Structure 1
Amino acid sequence: MIGRALFGAAAALTMVGVTAAPALADSTRDQQWYLTDLKIAEAHKITKGAGVIVALIDSGVDPKHPDLAGALLPGLDTTESNLAGREGTEDTDGHGTGMAGIIAGRGHGAGAGVLGIAPAAKILPIATGGTGFQSSSFMTKAVDFAIKQHAGVINMSFGGADDDTVHDAIRKAQAADIVLVAAAGNDNSIGNTAGQYPGRYPEVLAVGAYGKDRKIASISITGPHVDLVAPGDQIMSTSIFDRGYEVSGGTSDATAMVSGAAALLRAKYPDMSAAEVVHRLTATADDAGPAGRDDTYGNGLLDVVKALTADVAPLPAAGASAAPSDDAAQAAPPAASDSDDLPEPVGVLVPALIVAGVVLLIGVVVVVFMMRRRRSG
């Protein structure tokens, strides 16, 4: 099944995930292969994301799941449905509960249950309701609420067509210095178009998915919009079914991984801007595929520990570039030392001095001539 749900009969947006069979509780942590792949135990020695709020725009989150105890803040239901007033805590689909577990699952007991990438972060659930996205105006409400609640990260594990209302909300969130993370999209084998926005917007960090072999997942859409890839195949997380667990996959899950990593960065570097957080995530990624950035892996595979610890060059100032382009070099005026023309002040001064010199010389000649006449007379 591509996507856990398609919200609304005419909806342009869909959650991008693939669900497999439920898992047994006592083997949950062992099946979280991505914790080892991302060296999360080492990362958690540095920070667990305390003090950071991750806004989760999704299907809602089940607050009674044992692994999410203490992880949820009062949220918002953006729809005009009978779920209004439930504060994002009604999830009839399960997608949002799964993403919450990946981002900030706390587990339970002695190493049991799902452990999130940022288990000390808080989830701000912003639910679209059981009947789904009624219109793109949900995004305006969601972003306004996230800004009001001081969210540091917004997770958008959904996607669809380009939409002006959604893009305007994205720009507003960017202006509020929020890290914006979205799914690159899943290949639904029907035109390769599922879920490419808001991931395609330049303000958003678009995330693709890779599997246990560290190769790009077959379902993950590739293209110039991909910024980073993260684990997104055979992902164990929290489920609404019997408040247990299930294995899923897709760029939704990979997006939640990166949102958790962004929360860790915002906790360690509280004065770092959202743009700098994104820069650090992409600059420290493990290169894969062809050397440098490519359309399959983007800047590479997420490296949480390196993002937290590496000495990263600062983000270039807006509008600045390391070297002028060929066009710019051709258009630039030549340096003064290479020019045959004198600078304007010098071009005026030299002729004036020449004229003054000629006048002075004439005066001297006249004076000498007059003195000789006097002597001869």
Structure 2
Amino acid sequence: MAAAPIASADQTRRDQWALETLQAESAWNISKGEGVTVAVIDTGVNAQHIDLRHNVLKGKDFIDGDDDASPESTDAQPSHGTGMASVIAGHGHGPGAADGVMGLAPAAKILPIRVNLEGNSGFADEIHYAVDNGASIINISMILQDSQYKDGASAEDLEAVAYALEKDVLIVAGAGNDGKGGDLPFPANTPGVVAVGGVDRTGSFWEDSNYGPEVLLTAPATRIVSAGWPGNKLRISDGTSDSTAYVSAAAALLRSKFPDLTAGQIANRLVRTAALPESAKGLTLPDEKYGYGVIRPLAALTEDIPVGSKYGPLKVPGAEGSSAAPGTGKSDTDHAAENKEADQKQLVFFVVLGLIALAVIGLIVFLIVKLSRRNKNKTGGSGGPAGYPQYGQHPVSPQPHAYQQPVSPQQNPYQQQSPPPHGQWPPQQ
């Protein structure tokens, strides 16, 4: 959110420390975000920047009303939206794309949306537009602190977030940069939104990041190099804006790799693989500063993670801000009961399947033994007739079936209060 002096192009790539810490090179061997569109609701995006060209789609300017979502000099921070877009989907330039800004999801596409905040209108119209125009992830690296939002989102904004979840779109928003605790500002405080805090290069909590019970994840937030405006300018910034963009980019990698997962299940993979720095080991999770920890995109792409429920760790907004699934009127308690019942049904299924497998194995063993005895009686000994291979002299017990023992259902990570052992941060190379 706050920008430092412009960086020179020859130092750009080596100054992108977050890419190395997030093991981007290894993650790109699995996914670069192909086929995923990330909407950036912000101050507009410089689609002609050399490190973003061809990765920015036609969007919408909610101030001028046209499809040119470029920044304008009258904006408070005209480079801000371009910076976030490049952290997500910058592709660099030059031979081997070795120069310039590289995003964490360099093959993703950006849907630029220049936000209109006149009259403190919130983001409802912009969210609807993003959902209706192909975005599967929405990045909002902005906050509203007007008194209108001190008690949470408006009814229109709550409906827009619910609409996004109905359409399976993940919304990611920054916690803010005031260093304040308590409830987060809008939209990070809205049920259904992934609220993101910031960490420094060591993985320790960044002192200017806001914190509170809504924080779900954290990501790099200091000395982040990104693209700017006008022309091919660069910027260096500190802020949860950047950490939000990194989480959106990590989600893009996952949505490309796991297209059948819901928005909540994508959040589930990010949460279940997040890690704490050594200095924060032993915290009860979720922590008001770290949430469930710092994102680890490579682990999220490669580890064996239970799919989880449709909404995963996300709280789902109801018509008046209560946690309820869109259009169902069901409370968190109702969904918890449904999830428990589903787990019980799954366990019964595996038990029955295991018993069936045991019965089949027993039948196979019985038939093999019976056939062996019949052959022995026919030949008068253990050997078969001359000139034939002696099959079945010593029947080998079949290997246990994968479902021979009932599989215990996975614990819900969003109900337990002890941190799972998910490695450390920064990850060891």
Q: Which amino acid aligns with 1:264?
A: L
Report how far residue 149 of structure 1 moved: 1.2
Relative distance call for 1:243 and 1:195 in structure 2 (3 A) is farther
Looking at structure 2, the residues matched to 236 and 153 of structure 1 have their Cα atoms a distance apart, in angstroms, of 22
Aligned to 1:163: 153
TM-score (norm 1): 0.75
**Does structure 1 residue 28 correspond to structure 2 residue 19?**
no
Q: Unaligned 5+ residue runs, structure 1?
A: 1-16, 325-377
Looking at structure 1, the residues matched to 183 and 285 of structure 2 have their Cα atoms a distance apart, in angstroms, of 26
Aligned to 1:45: 29
| Residue-by-residue CA offset, 1:174-205 (whole Å, 9 max, x unaligned) | 111101100012116xx668962111112011
**Does structure 1 residue 97 correspond to structure 2 residue 82?**
yes
Report how far residue 166 of structure 1 moved: 2.0
Looking at structure 2, the residues matched to 243 and 235 of structure 1 have their Cα atoms a distance apart, in angstroms, of 16
Looking at structure 2, the residues matched to 71 and 138 of structure 1 have their Cα atoms a distance apart, in angstroms, of 27
Aligned to 1:55: 39
Question: Which has more radius of gyration?
Answer: 1
Aligned to 1:310: 303
The residue correspondences of 1:353-364 to structure 2 (distance < 5 A) are none
Aligned to 2:276: 287
| Residue-by-residue CA offset, 1:331-358 (whole Å, 9 max, x unaligned) | xxxxxxxxxxxxxxxxxxxxxxxxxxxx
Aligned to 1:127: 114
**Does structure 1 residue 226 correspond to structure 2 residue 215?**
yes
The answer as to whether partners of 2:183 and 2:212 remain within 8 angstroms in 1 is no
The answer as to whether partners of 1:209 and 1:251 remain within 8 angstroms in 2 is yes
**Does structure 1 residue 112 correspond to structure 2 residue 99?**
yes
Relative distance call for 1:257 and 1:142 in structure 2 (3 A) is same
Aligned to 2:243: 254
Aligned to 1:358: none
User: What is the percentage of aligned positions where both structures have the same residue?
Assistant: 38
Report how far residue 260 of structure 1 moved: 0.4
| Residue-by-residue CA offset, 1:240-272 (whole Å, 9 max, x unaligned) | 144221110111000000000001100000111
The answer as to whether partners of 2:225 and 2:237 remain within 8 angstroms in 1 is yes
Aligned to 1:346: none
| Residue-by-residue CA offset, 1:286-307 (whole Å, 9 max, x unaligned) | 1342153211111001100011
The answer as to whether partners of 1:62 and 1:91 remain within 8 angstroms in 2 is no
The answer as to whether partners of 1:67 and 1:108 remain within 8 angstroms in 2 is yes
Report how far residue 230 of structure 1 moved: 0.2
Aligned to 2:379: none
**Secondary structure of the equivalent of 2:225?**
strand
- How many residues of Structure 1 are paired with residues of Structure 2 in the alignment? 300
| Residue-by-residue CA offset, 1:31-90 (whole Å, 9 max, x unaligned) | 0000000000000000100100001100000111100011111000112xxx33143123
Candidates 204, 213, 221, aligned match of 1:215: 204
Moved more, 288-297 or 199-208: 288-297
Aligned to 2:293: 300
Moved more, 292-301 or 158-167: 158-167
The answer as to whether partners of 2:173 and 2:187 remain within 8 angstroms in 1 is yes
The answer as to whether partners of 1:78 and 1:138 remain within 8 angstroms in 2 is no
Report how far residue 140 of structure 1 moved: 2.6
Candidates 44, 50, 69, aligned match of 1:88: 69
The answer as to whether partners of 1:21 and 1:247 remain within 8 angstroms in 2 is yes
Aligned Cα root-mean-square deviation (Å) = 2.0
The answer as to whether partners of 1:21 and 1:246 remain within 8 angstroms in 2 is yes
Relative distance call for 1:138 and 1:291 in structure 2 (3 A) is closer
Report how far residue 147 of structure 1 moved: 1.7
Looking at structure 2, the residues matched to 194 and 95 of structure 1 have their Cα atoms a distance apart, in angstroms, of 25
**Does structure 1 residue 239 correspond to structure 2 residue 228?**
yes
Aligned to 1:172: 163
Q: Unaligned 5+ residue runs, structure 2?
A: 311-334, 342-429
**Secondary structure of the equivalent of 2:267?**
helix
Aligned to 2:58: 74
**Does structure 1 residue 182 correspond to structure 2 residue 173?**
yes
Report how far residue 320 of structure 1 moved: 3.9
TM-score (norm 2): 0.67
Q: Which amino acid aligns with 2:47?
A: P
